[in-house]
Structure 1
Amino acid sequence: MTDEATEPREPAADPDLDQFYDAVEAEGRPVVTASEVARRLGTTQASAADALNDLVDEGTIDRVSVETDPVVYFPAEWRELAARERVVVFPDRREIVVDQPRQYTRAQLSQFAHLVDSTGDRERSVADRETATRGYKYEIRPEDVWQAPFDDVEELLSLMRSVLPRRSAELEEWVRSQWQRANRFRLFTHDDGYVVLEAGSESLMGNVARQKLDEEQLVAPISETESWVREGSAAAVKRTLYEAGYPVVDDRDLDTGDPVDVESTVDLREYQQDWVDRFRDQQSGVLVGPSGSGKTVTATGILAAIGGETLILVPSRELAGQWRAELVAHTTLAPEQIGEYHGGEKEIRPVTIATYRTAGMDRHRALFDSRGWGLVVYDEVHHVPAEVYRRSADLQTTHRLGLSATPVREDDREAEIFTLIGPPIGTDWSRLFEAGYVQEPEVRIRYLPWDDEMARNEWAHAEGRDRHRVAAENPAKIDETRRLLDAHPDASALVFVDWLDQGEALADALDVPFVSGEMPHHRRDRVFESFREDDLNTLVVSRVGDEGIDLPNATVAIVASGLGGSRRQGAQRAGRTMRPAGGSRVYVLATRGTSEEEFAQRQMRHLAEKGIRVIESNVDDGAQSEGGEE
């Protein structure tokens, strides 16, 4: 064992307050001496004592003389020590627990770890509720390493070392091994036109590929490391091997499509151009930037860079119309070069916009299969793993581009998105927030009491879905919504609901329109346009506002119900306020003591993964809204 006292080292700088706290935590005792601080920080006892006495003079720590040592030091304000960030790593379980995390830490962790849970005591006093934060537990999964947005494993390890408190040889070795697994299988096109699966070794082909894949995927072996892939089975091969822990490199010679003469008319931001460059290098990928970061504009830049016939898949006709407008506004494409293919129109053009459902129908599928596409764009790509949409992922093209701010699914199939389409691009949201390109939302979960005994009794006697509905329709939410809107009188606000009765009640109480699926399309379009033009400053919106509706002037979102929905829904609704200018506020209202508490935490989890702070507080009976305190 090396004697630490005899090992020479450079003297450290005099300790500051943070280093003093580190020393207290390291000693595991409430008080420390100057010699203990010096030993922990690698400085001299005299220097440590001088610096500690300076901190005493500043009033940030205290000291007292005791019999066993001339002086001991302790924090003047113990709450400051308790409120500090702590990062604890469990290498054997590949888990990271963070207490009181800073935004920087959460943002960096989001690039290589998956948020599993958030924990902590939410029962705070009124005085403390503004500072209520939660601890976070992360897990580093194989797919997190495979999809990490770095060019090589050393970049990934460098980031990990910058955020974790100490290096772990065991954890880093595991990360290296997972990184290597991502390049052990490859699909390529044989000179005779069929597809070949190539393994990095005979063992991988024999013990992994040929054990996991059957005659439905593999026709016959070609060599000890190569197998002939059955036509149309490449996607199934990729999915199966991914699930076995081996993501496949896809180097097939796929259709490039007829050339299309098109240029972008937009000056892309630096990060958008980086997204374009990364996509061109990879030939496939999923843009996962936040709402307001310009994913659609970036997609038009990619379309111009590829310059081939393009198919754009969208979940609805409304989105098809928005895409047509974006293409005309941001590229040199003429309107007659753009076709729409869905229930309303059926035109194939050099750039075609189709709905997932129509493109997957048997009577239309042959038309799309026979076309040579240079690029296929999957808007709202989180739909792809669903059975009704996934056939579209088999369309042959050299370039696949997915778009989604929230590629998460409650059935845990989000990994399939990156398997079928490509690796994620644009995962570092914190850089966009810090640069001011996108407004980081301030997210507050507000737990409300019942203020209507009749409604509470109805909830107590209800079961299943009715129980969730009654909690969601808590009448207290109407008053709280009104108070929040009054606190932001100049804001453009969206109030989201899942239940039609609640939406109508809120719209009546606030004297504003309620936009739902029952509102005719032409009237819905007029209402949204009035909101964009600031003729209306508040809308109550049902699920029709969750996806694809462009309302860039919204600065406040109030989620009054929908808490039984997915993490994706919660992030989409919050994303409606994530724009470059103005303050961005998101309020999530949940009835205290009901399943809405858990739903609220789950819905905001995707935002927490991206480093966005989520503050929780209780609305006490008769308490004023947050707006009056800010």
Structure 2
Amino acid sequence: MTESDTETEELSVDRFYDALEDHGRPVITATALARRLDVSQERAMQALDALEERGDVERASVAEDPTVFYASDWARMVERERVVFFPERREIVVDQPEQFTRAQLAQFARLKDTTRTGGYLYEVRREDVWQAPYDTHEELVATMQSVLPVWPSTFEEWVVEQYKRAHRFELRTHEDGYVVLVAANESLLGNVAEQRLPEGALRAVISDTEAWVAEDRVAEVKRVLYEAGYPVEDGRDLETGEALDVQLHLRLRDYQQEWVDRFDEKGAGVLVGPPGSGKTVAAMGCIEAVGGETLVLVPSRELATQWREELLTHTNLVDSQVGEYHGGKKQIRPVTIATYQTAGMDRHRQLFDDREWGLVVYDEVHHVPAPIHRRSVDLQSKHRLGLTASPVRGDDREEEIFTLVGPPIGTDWDALFDAGFVQDPEVEVRYVPWGSDEAQERHAKRDGHDKRQAAAANPAKIAETEHVLEREHPDKKALVFVEYLDHGQELAEALDAPFISGEMAHSERDRLFREFRNGDRRVLVVSRVADEGIDLPDAEVAVVASGLGGSRRQGTQRAGRTMRPEGSAHVVVLATRGTTEEDFAQNQTRHLASKGISVRDGDAKAFETTDGLVAATDDTDADDEDADGDEAPDDAAE
């Protein structure tokens, strides 16, 4: 800060705190403050007088020393936000971050770790710069500078270089209709594209910077160049397919309309927004904008049925125009909703390849990098739209989503929370003691999967779940998530609630979900079948009783079942103390914390003990293992 700066603005209490930290002592004189701020002593004294008048600082006079000043509210100074940037490692440490800071960091950095005291560790990777939702590197740099306390020129050079790397190759449509790869210069085409791409991907070089791309190798070209460090922009004239007049009967919210406009401009993209923000409605707006026949890919047949009902309810499409294609139905219509599993099978694939789709929608798009699902993104000539609450994957291949489908759209969760469009849930991790000595001993004797299962099925979790649902939220609609069939059945019996798993008939699942939506049922115990996409509005409470070996994405989805515009929302994650579940719980909630959602932790509340063990609960037959005790199957599989 220079003298001229301080003459035009008052000294803020945060600047005073910064000066105290730099000074290294809890008190400071006007002379020392003047040196820290690079101002005159008179100006420093005036600033301190103003802070004292506002009640932010106090002064003390010592007989043999000059007057010193100190913070009035030490708690505020300790708890305030601190951002420390390590440019060499490209890591950012944030203490007590405000929502604005988390929202800005989410645009260009990945949350790497969190602590239980409110600390966050972010890292800026090249992929984060490539995928940052900015049209110019100047906009990206401005956002970074608004958060980072220091800005070394070497870091800015790296950011600008990485941003430019993401704009050095582009796919275009030649005037004669074929696909052309355009490089920023001759060297990139010859030394990168021609050298790295497999034989046959480029049919011919047509100029110093252009090459003809084999139409059926476009996805491969994107993958290879991405892995080489050069993401490819897709500027082709995408097909619109057979014309289809789709009219949306809903008025889009402003942010949804912005999502649609950005998609319409680019022709491809991934909507990244919290559950309950209306991504499906926005997707229907994109279908209307394209105006062509559409293929919607989903992970489960329940979600296919839900999509069909939403389209028939909220658009002018009629029954004969909307079909489902999966293990239960085989209908190809102008708008077809198919499961990833079925669409990836060879015997069905030609049906989808042959039709002139104008748009392909990938719901729960994080499935795309999986081997059987990624085959669907070879439909590169179409408009492509992905939907997800969380693009993160356990195998760190989430970058393929944006490479193969399109750039991220709509990543600012905080704006939706602040505007009241989506309920910001409170997420709480509770550490549960062992339900009995026997249960703890069994856990100690087991290894690997069996050890995780023993921790997941800790009988004390039943008491804590009952406490949450009956004592804390007795009148609220709740979902209880489990990973193992035995555990789900035990909880369902204790709660007198149905247990929905992949083994249940689809018709029975539909009936129970419908009863929950209509308010005829208050509690459901569910396996992975409810993780993705299933619309369960008004679920005000979610208890994650087991399944903590899952991914950050799974944690987002389960918390997301409570994210709705109305009412309070509470997510309780149960972890058996002293087991790997503690680390898994932190991993699952990390992505939520990075999006500005409140996450806290503490002890289970159903019981207080002196020795870390709760009174014995029903633990019969815990050692008996049969087929039902195996890990619950992936309910999305067909």
> Please, what TM-score do these two structures have when normalized by structure 2?
0.91
Match of 1:206 in 2: 190
Alignment partner of 1:290 out of 243, 249, 274: 274
State, as a whole percentage, how many aligned pairs show the same letter.
Answer: 62
Match of 1:525 in 2: 510
CA contact (8 A) 1:253 1:398 kept: no
What do the CA deviations read for 1:392-447 (whole angstroms, capped 9, x no partner)? 10114431001111111111110000000000111001100000000011111111
Q: Secondary structure at the match of 2:269?
A: strand
User: What's the CA shift for 1:230?
Assistant: 3.0
Match of 1:510 in 2: 495
What do the CA deviations read for 1:280-327 (whole angstroms, capped 9, x no partner)? 001000011110000111111111111111111111211111111011
Match of 1:409 in 2: 393
Match of 2:32 in 1: 36
Match of 1:578 in 2: 563
Q: Secondary structure at the match of 2:216?
A: coil
Alignment partner of 2:545 out of 534, 555, 560: 560
Match of 1:425 in 2: 409
Alignment partner of 2:361 out of 348, 364, 377: 377
> Given the alignment of the two structures, is residue 146 of structure 1 paired with residue 99 of structure 2, yes or no?
no
What is the one-letter code of the residue matched to 1:462? R
State how far apart, in whole Å, the 2-side matches of 1:167 and 1:492 are.
48
User: What's the CA shift for 1:193?
Assistant: 4.2
CA contact (8 A) 2:296 2:362 kept: yes
State how far apart, in whole Å, the 1-side matches of 2:12 and 2:172 are.
58
Match of 2:70 in 1: 74
Match of 2:528 in 1: 543
User: What's the CA shift for 1:619?
Assistant: 3.6
State how far apart, in whole Å, the 2-side matches of 1:179 and 1:420 are.
18
User: What's the CA shift for 1:356?
Assistant: 1.5
Cα gap change, 1:229 to 1:73, in 2 (>3 Å): same
What is the one-letter code of the residue matched to 1:410? G
Match of 2:344 in 1: 360
What is the one-letter code of the residue matched to 2:96? Q
CA contact (8 A) 2:344 2:376 kept: yes
Alignment partner of 2:313 out of 329, 343, 349: 329
> Given the alignment of the two structures, is residue 454 of structure 1 paired with residue 442 of structure 2, yes or no?
no
Match of 1:314 in 2: 298
Match of 1:398 in 2: 382
What is the one-letter code of the residue matched to 2:183? A
> Given the alignment of the two structures, is residue 475 of structure 1 paired with residue 467 of structure 2, yes or no?
no
Segments of 5+ residues of structure 1 without an aligned counterpart are 123-132, 625-630
Cα gap change, 1:305 to 1:9, in 2 (>3 Å): closer
Alignment partner of 1:265 out of 227, 233, 249: 249
CA contact (8 A) 1:373 1:396 kept: no
User: What's the CA shift for 1:82?
Assistant: 2.4
What do the CA deviations read for 1:231-260 (whole angstroms, capped 9, x no partner)? 411101101111111111223344320111
Segments of 5+ residues of structure 2 without an aligned counterpart are 610-638
69-78 vs 531-540, greater mean Cα deviation: 69-78
Q: Secondary structure at the match of 1:232?
A: helix
What is the one-letter code of the residue matched to 1:392? S
What is the one-letter code of the residue matched to 1:320? A
> Given the alignment of the two structures, is residue 169 of structure 1 paired with residue 165 of structure 2, yes or no?
no
What do the CA deviations read for 1:124-153 (whole angstroms, capped 9, x no partner)? xxxxxxxxx331111111221221122222
State how far apart, in whole Å, the 1-side matches of 2:5 and 2:283 are.
53
CA contact (8 A) 2:238 2:267 kept: no
Match of 1:22 in 2: 18
1:75-154 matches, within 5 Å, as 75-76=71-72, 78-119=74-115, 122=116, 133-154=117-138
CA contact (8 A) 1:309 1:350 kept: yes
What do the CA deviations read for 1:152-175 (whole angstroms, capped 9, x no partner)? 222222221222223332222222
165-174 vs 507-516, greater mean Cα deviation: 165-174
User: What's the CA shift for 1:42?
Assistant: 5.7
User: What's the CA shift for 1:191?
Assistant: 4.3
What do the CA deviations read for 1:532-561 (whole angstroms, capped 9, x no partner)? 122221111111111121111101111111
CA RMSD between the two structures: 2.2
CA contact (8 A) 1:13 1:43 kept: no
CA contact (8 A) 2:467 2:606 kept: no
State how far apart, in whole Å, the 1-side matches of 2:359 and 2:198 are.
30
Cα gap change, 1:183 to 1:15, in 2 (>3 Å): closer
CA contact (8 A) 1:376 1:397 kept: no
What is the one-letter code of the residue matched to 1:433? F
State how far apart, in whole Å, the 1-side matches of 2:210 and 2:381 are.
23
CA contact (8 A) 1:61 1:75 kept: yes
CA contact (8 A) 1:375 1:397 kept: no
State how far apart, in whole Å, the 2-side matches of 1:238 and 1:356 are.
21
What do the CA deviations read for 1:314-345 (whole angstroms, capped 9, x no partner)? 11211111111011011101111112222222
State how far apart, in whole Å, the 2-side matches of 1:41 and 1:529 are.
64
User: What's the CA shift for 1:28?
Assistant: 2.1
Q: Secondary structure at the match of 2:234?
A: strand
Cα gap change, 1:210 to 1:67, in 2 (>3 Å): farther
> Given the alignment of the two structures, is residue 598 of structure 1 paired with residue 583 of structure 2, yes or no?
yes
State how far apart, in whole Å, the 1-side matches of 2:10 and 2:171 are.
58
Match of 1:628 in 2: none
User: What's the CA shift for 1:54?
Assistant: 6.8
Cα gap change, 1:266 to 1:77, in 2 (>3 Å): closer
Q: Secondary structure at the match of 1:604?
A: helix
Cα gap change, 1:53 to 1:16, in 2 (>3 Å): same
User: What's the CA shift for 1:531?
Assistant: 1.3
State how far apart, in whole Å, the 1-side matches of 2:311 and 2:538 are.
21
Match of 1:180 in 2: 164
Q: Secondary structure at the match of 1:494?
A: strand
Q: Secondary structure at the match of 1:519?
A: coil
Cα gap change, 1:153 to 1:54, in 2 (>3 Å): closer
> Given the alignment of the two structures, is residue 487 of structure 1 paired with residue 465 of structure 2, yes or no?
no
CA contact (8 A) 1:21 1:81 kept: yes
CA contact (8 A) 2:426 2:570 kept: yes
Q: Secondary structure at the match of 2:548?
A: coil
State how far apart, in whole Å, the 2-side matches of 1:452 and 1:49 are.
65
Q: Secondary structure at the match of 1:385?
A: coil
State how far apart, in whole Å, the 1-side matches of 2:460 and 2:59 are.
51
State how far apart, in whole Å, the 1-side matches of 2:546 and 2:391 are.
22
Match of 1:500 in 2: 485
User: What's the CA shift for 1:484?
Assistant: 1.5
CA contact (8 A) 2:463 2:606 kept: no
Q: Secondary structure at the match of 1:390?
A: helix
353-362 vs 185-194, greater mean Cα deviation: 185-194
Q: Secondary structure at the match of 1:224?
A: coil
State how far apart, in whole Å, the 2-side matches of 1:459 and 1:52 are.
60
User: What's the CA shift for 1:347?
Assistant: 2.0
Cα gap change, 1:22 to 1:489, in 2 (>3 Å): same
State how far apart, in whole Å, the 2-side matches of 1:196 and 1:15 are.
57
